[in-house]
Every structure is written in structure tokens, then in C-alpha cells.
Amino acid sequence: MSTDRQTPPRFAPLADPPLKGRDKRSALPARLVVLIPYAWLVVLFLAPFAIVLKISLSQTAMAQPPYLPVFDLAAGWEGLKDFVGQLSFESYALLGSDWLYILSYLKSLQVAFVSTLILLAIGYPMAYGIARSPRAWQPLLVMLVVLPFWTSFLIRVYAWVNILQRDGLLNTVLMKLSIIGEPVAWLASDTAIYIGVVYSYLPFMVLPLYATLEKMDDSLLEAAADLGCPRARAFWQVTVPLSLPGVAAGALLCFIPICGEFVIPDLLGGSETQMIGQTLWTEFFANRDWPVASAIAVALLVLLLVPIMIYERLQQRALEGAR
Amino acid sequence: MRRLSPFNITAVALGLAFLYLPIAILVIYSFNASRLVTIWGGWSLTWYRALLQDDAMLQAAWASLRIAALSATAATVLGTLSAVTLTRFGAFRGRLLFSSMVYAPLVMPEVITGLSLLLLFVALGIDRGFWTVAAAHTTLTMCFVTVIVHSRLVSFDRSLEEAAMDLGCPPFKTFLTVTLPLIAPALAAGWMLAFSLSLDDLVIASFTTGPGATTLPIRIYSEVRLGVKPEVNAICTLMIAFVAVATIISSLLTKRGAVRRAREATLGAAV
């Protein structure tokens, strides 16, 4: 544990001298270190968004690729003017006027919001329990929480199909115990979606919470106790406020991807109201309407822009600041 | 203050039970002799034998393994370069954009990433298949590698690098001979995570795949949509066993502390 993690290093070995070109041998490798991943991300992560935006402004066509206009580089400036003239907001107008899409967005937000609350309610006591357990156990407990994350997401959702189906294990057990008289249709319901989402995202909630709770100084609670603060009150006034960065990170790490979730609602949910990820999937794969699918993606991105930016701030502060 | 309160024990135990019970049930039912998934017909390996006959499934598994190995390797290289950039290069023009691009895919809904990559490949006129899926998975998983390697790079003793350079070792050689061996456990953990994420991905692969490059999750998904099948339970059990064995080996090979740090970093260092 060196102290120079806290302050910017006075001497940045790989940084300043090589870039100034003082050491010619290292200048090229040093530039490549930045350029290769930078170029990769610009081409495969950033540029695609521009294309999505462009296609969301196109019109559906019976062609290959199935949209118009197709930008023709060879036509030069005239081609560009022509191209801009043909852009249309038709897809967005459809999104705003058809209740199918609006309900779909609302449903996604609802599922993400409620699930995040449930995840907090389950994840916080778990993270707290792990952080308060003897130090020697903690690595094992953390590994047990992470391990399911390493097994397939699809498999874990599918495992619930086994349990929740009409003649599945849950109904069998509940009927044996005479809690229910006849099988309950768990599958194809919102309940099943919530179970699947909470189950799949639990590690994402527990780990950030654990990371902040574990760093907390025990002496703070001792001080509170010494000053006559009851344990329950110390929890709410000391522990909870100190863990808020973890709460925020865990909540965002769950909320954002859940909004666009496809696999869970598709396998466990019903067919009444689809989540937006399913709607996008249907527009793209079933209806082959690429412009509308792109418009859905753009609108979803706009909706998630603020949470994503908050998440990025948290992430950067955590990784670059004192750890 | 570290007392074992009944409340804490209950919370952790219930939570872990919730995480593991469904997987355990899936594994047990994969050995069920009965075709009816809900009726227990005794232990049997019927579905594993059936799996060996299922050429489509085996082909998909082989394609998935190749894509996962290739993309995990590429992601480890790119992710390590990004982590070095973020920790060792201080401020440079475009740094904010770079770090935003590194962290965004961690939370970006997969349908958006998948659709945007597909549209890119179409716009560039690239035929979709093995290579496009591998490139897409590299883009997704390199960010996870970056986070793991990054957390290792900020927590290790810089004075070792400084010593090497004070003694006249050029920066690039210092990186290869001093830094790289020290962060190797993080690279291994990053590679494994990238590998399992690629093996697992359904959504991005579905968008970016083409004829002849059906991955295992795509195959499993098309079976699962039609309901529960015992063969699917069997292949899922094999995948779980694969990951479990890999995890155990990696924790035996690398120092426990390093692995633990890396695991936490995956998600936890998020904070």
C-alpha cells in the first residue's frame, strides 16, 4: 500500500517523457497504447450510434438493406444534399403516436424501478451481512455471490422456467403443502419477470454495496455507541449515509440494463405489454422495420442518458480518485 | 464489533439460497430419467447421451468456444491497453471521451449495442458471421477487462516501475518485464470473465451473427422458447460445470487475494 495512490504521481513513468519525443524508441509504442483501443472503440462503439441515428431518420423500404435513403458516397455533395432532403421523422412520429410504444417504455421503466427497489431490499441486508462477517469468511462469501454471475445469464433465467411452469416445482411443492388448491400460472406474468430480474441482477447490487460497506471504519460505529447512540439509530445515521455511493452505483448498475432487458421478459413474461427491449427485437427481427427499431433504440438511449451520465461520473470518481 | 448476529446470518444464507437453489434444481433435473420434466424418474444419463447425437447443438458449442477464445484474447489485449492508458498517461486530449466509451458498454442495454453493431456491419458491407460476432464480443468484453486491470494497476506499487526506469530501463521494456508479470493475475481473471461473457451472450450475438455462425446461446434460446427440454438441462449443466471447474482452477493458480480483488473489481469497484 504505497501512499502515492492518493496524490497524482510526481513521476509518471510511461507518460510524459516518451510523448514529448525525448526517447524515440518508446514514442511509437506509447502512442499505439492509446491509439489502438481508442480507434477500436470509436469505430465499433461510437460510430455505430451515428449510423443508428441516421437509419432512425430513414424510411422503411422493400429493399436490401431495408431502408431508404441509402447514402451514396460516390454522388458527392449533391448526393449529400439529396440524402438530407430525404430524411424523415416518420419513425419518431410513430413512436409518439402509437400507444404500443409508449406503454412499452412505461412498462420498462416500471419494471426497472420496482426491481431496483426489491434488489435494494434484498441486496442491502446481504451486503451488510457479508461486510459484518468475520474477515476470513468474506472472500469466500463474495466469491459465492459472484459465481452465479460467471454462469450463463440465459441458463439462470431458463432455470426459473423449470421452476415456475404450470406443472413445475413451485406449484408441486405449494400443492403438497396445501397452500394452494390448484396450479397457479406463475409463468407469463409480471411476477415471473420480477423474480427473473431480481435473481439475475442480485450480484450487481450486492457487490457495489459490499465494496462501500466493507471500507467503512468500524470505529465510527464504536464512537456512536460510546456516545450513547442505539445500534439501530447508528445504522440509519452512520452506516446508511456512508453507503449511499454504493447504493447509487448498485441501483444504476441494475436500473439501466434492466430497462433494455430482452431475455428475461421474453422467456418469463406474458404477451400483453412488452418491455421496450422486446418491442425493439420484434420490430427488427419479425417486422424487419429497421428505421423504427433504430428510432426505439435512440429514444431508449435518450431516456437513459441521464442515468448513464451519473453512473459514468460515479465510476470515474471511484476509479480515478483515492481508493 | 464483528459479531455474528442472527439477522446477518439469515440475510446472507437466504440470499445465497435464492442464488443457488434454481441452479441446483436445474442440475438435478438434467439427470432425470423421465422425459416429463416434472416427474422424477430416477437418475440417468439419457439426456447427456442424447446431447452427443445432437449435431446442431455440438456445432453451436464449438462455434461459441472459438468465438469466446478469440474475443477474450483480443479483449484482454485491448482492455489492458485501455487500462494502461487510463492509469499511466495522465491527461491527454480526448481522455474524457475515451473513459466514457470505456465505461458505457458496462451498462448499455444489449439490444442497443447489438442493433448498432449490426447496422455498422451492414453499412460497411461486411458479411455477418463468425468474425462479426467475435468483433462485437470483443467490444463488449474489453470494457470489463479494462475495469479489472485498471483496479490492479492503481493498487500496485509504482516504485518498482520507477526503480527499473531509474536504472535505465526504457518504459516499454519496463512495462513488459516489470509491470506485466505483476498484473498477470488480473489479465487472467479478465480473460476468463471475457470468455464467459462471450459464451453467455445471446442478444448481441443474435444481431451480429450470420449464416453458419449459430452460437450456443442462440441455439439454446431457440429450444427454450418452445418450453423446457431435458436435453437443454443437460447442456446447461455442462456449461455450469465448465465454468465451475475453470473458476476453481484459476483460483488455485493465482493468488487468492489477486483473484478476489479482480472479482470485486468486475462489479464492485464500480464504486
∠ CA A141-A147-A149, nearest 5°, is 125
Which pLDDT belongs to residue B53? 85
Mean pLDDT (chain B, rounded): 82
Which pLDDT belongs to residue B75? 95
**Residue B271: pLDDT band with limits 50, 70, 90:** very low
Let me know if residue A64 belongs to a domain: no
* Nearest alpha-carbon partner for B234 in B35, B29, B25: B29
Mean pLDDT (chain A, rounded): 79
First to last CA, chain B: 24
Highest mean pLDDT among A12-16, B135-139, B184-188: B135-139
Query: Average pLDDT, stretch B108-114?
Result: 90
What are the cell numbers at B183?
498484473
User: What distance in Å separates the CA atoms of residue A123 and residue A135, rounded to the nearest whole number?
Assistant: 19
Q: Where are the alpha helices (DSSP H) in chain A?
A: 16-19, 24-41, 47-56, 76-86, 90-97, 99-132, 138-150, 153-164, 169-176, 190-215, 218-226, 231-234, 240-242, 244-259, 263-268, 276-281, 290-320
What is the least distance, in Å, from the CA of B23 to any CA of chain A?
6
Which conformational region is residue A204 in: left (phi greater than 0), alpha (psi within -120 to 50 degrees), or beta?
Answer: alpha
Which pLDDT belongs to residue B37? 63
Answer whether A57 touches B (CB < 8 Å).
no
Looking at chain A from residue 145 to 174, which residues have their Cβ under 8 Å from any Cβ of chain B?
A: 145-156, 158-163, 165, 167-169, 172
Residue A321's Cβ-side half-sphere holds a number of Cα atoms within 13 Å equal to 9
Which pLDDT belongs to residue A26? 47
∠ CA B200-B241-B21, nearest 5°, is 85
**CB atoms A128 and B158 under 8 Å:** no
Query: Average pLDDT, stretch A28-46?
Result: 83
User: What CATH number is associated with residue A279?
Assistant: 1.10.3720.10
Answer whether B94 touches A (CB < 8 Å).
yes
Let me know if residue B14 belongs to a domain: no
Which pLDDT belongs to residue A4? 40
Answer whether B144 touches A (CB < 8 Å).
no
Query: Average pLDDT, stretch B241-252?
Result: 75
User: What distance in Å separates the CA atoms of residue A244 and residue A185, rounded to the nearest whole number?
Assistant: 38
Query: Average pLDDT, stretch B224-246?
Result: 81
Let me know if residue A104 belongs to a domain: yes
**460510546: which residue's cell?**
A226
Helix (H, G, I), strand (E, B) or coil at B142: helix
> Is pLDDT of A18 > 50?
no
Let me know if residue B39 belongs to a domain: no
Let me know if residue A206 belongs to a domain: yes
**CB atoms A12 and B88 under 8 Å:** yes
Which stretch of DSSP H or E encloses residue A167? none
Which pLDDT belongs to residue A54? 83
CB atoms within 10 A of CB B11: 21
pLDDT tens digits for range A157-168 = 888 887 888 777
∠ CA A194-A107-B201, nearest 5°, is 60
Let me know if residue A27 belongs to a domain: no
Q: How many domains is chain A built from?
A: 1
* This prediction's pTM: 0.82
DSSP class of residue A307 equals: H
**535505465: which residue's cell?**
B168
> Is pLDDT of A184 > 90?
no
> Is pLDDT of A113 > 90?
yes
Report the length, in residues, of chain A.
323
User: What CATH number is associated with residue B140?
Assistant: 1.10.3720.10
Parallel, antiparallel or unpaired: strands A59-60 and A67-68: antiparallel
Helix (H, G, I), strand (E, B) or coil at A67: strand
Which pLDDT belongs to residue B168? 84
What are the cell numbers at B253?
493458480
Looking at chain A from residue 266 to 295, which residues have their Cβ under 8 Å from any Cβ of chain B?
A: 266-267, 277, 280-281, 284-285, 290, 293-294
Lowest-pLDDT range of A2-6, A179-183, A200-204, B110-114 = A2-6
Let me know if residue A1 belongs to a domain: no
Which pLDDT belongs to residue A5? 41
**CB atoms A65 and B122 under 8 Å:** yes
Buried b / exposed e over B102-141, threshold 16 CB at 10 Å, is bbbbbbbbbbbbbbbbbbbbbbeeeebbbbbbbbbbbbbb
**CB atoms B9 and A129 under 8 Å:** yes
DSSP class of residue B130 equals: H
Q: Is B227 exposed, middle or buried (0-12, 13-18, 19+ CB in 10 A)?
A: exposed
Contacts 24+ apart (CB under 8 A), A172-181: A172/B38
Residue A28's contacts (CB-CB under 8 Å, 6 or more residues apart) are none
What are the cell numbers at A104?
412499452
Helix (H, G, I), strand (E, B) or coil at A290: helix
Let me know if residue B74 belongs to a domain: yes
Identify which of B12, B23, B264 has the shortest CB distance to residue A151. Answer: B23
User: What distance in Å separates the CA atoms of residue A34 and residue A241, rounded to the nearest whole number?
Assistant: 38
Let me know if residue A38 belongs to a domain: no
Question: A-B interface: how many C-beta pairs under 8 angstroms?
Answer: 351
Which pLDDT belongs to residue A2? 41
Let me know if residue B69 belongs to a domain: yes
Let me know if residue B26 belongs to a domain: no
Let me know if residue A228 belongs to a domain: yes
Helix (H, G, I), strand (E, B) or coil at B216: helix
Let me know if residue B49 belongs to a domain: no
Let me know if residue A25 belongs to a domain: no
Which pLDDT belongs to residue B137? 94
Highest mean pLDDT among A9-23, B79-93, B139-153: B139-153
pLDDT tens digits for range B112-163 = 999 999 999 988 888 888 999 999 999 999 988 998 888 888 877 778 888 8
Query: Which of B93, B119, B176 to mutate against chain A (most A CBs within 10 Å)?
Result: B119
Which stretch of DSSP H or E encloses residue A59? strand A59-60
What are the cell numbers at B209?
451473427
What are the cell numbers at A123?
441486496
Whether B230 contacts B30, CB under 8 Å? yes
First to last CA, chain A: 11
User: What distance in Å separates the CA atoms of residue B114 and residue A280, rounded to the nearest whole number?
Assistant: 11
pLDDT tens digits for range A145-158 = 887 777 778 888 88
Domain that holds residue B81: 55-270
Which pLDDT belongs to residue B67? 94
What is the least distance, in Å, from the CA of A97 to any CA of chain B?
22
Let me know if residue B203 belongs to a domain: yes
What are the cell numbers at B123?
453499412
What are the cell numbers at A9?
504521481
User: What distance in Å separates the CA atoms of residue B145 and residue A47, rounded to the nearest whole number?
Assistant: 22
User: What distance in Å separates the CA atoms of residue B132 and residue B126, rounded to the nearest whole number?
Assistant: 8
Identify which of A8, A15, A135 has the shortest CB distance to residue B89. Answer: A15
User: What distance in Å separates the CA atoms of residue B57 and residue B51, rounded to the nearest whole number?
Assistant: 7
**Residue A6: pLDDT band with limits 50, 70, 90:** very low
Let me know if residue B97 belongs to a domain: yes
Domain that holds residue A143: 94-320
Query: Which of A4, A51, A53, A280 to mutate against chain B (most B CBs within 10 Å)?
Result: A51
Q: How many domains is chain B built from?
A: 1
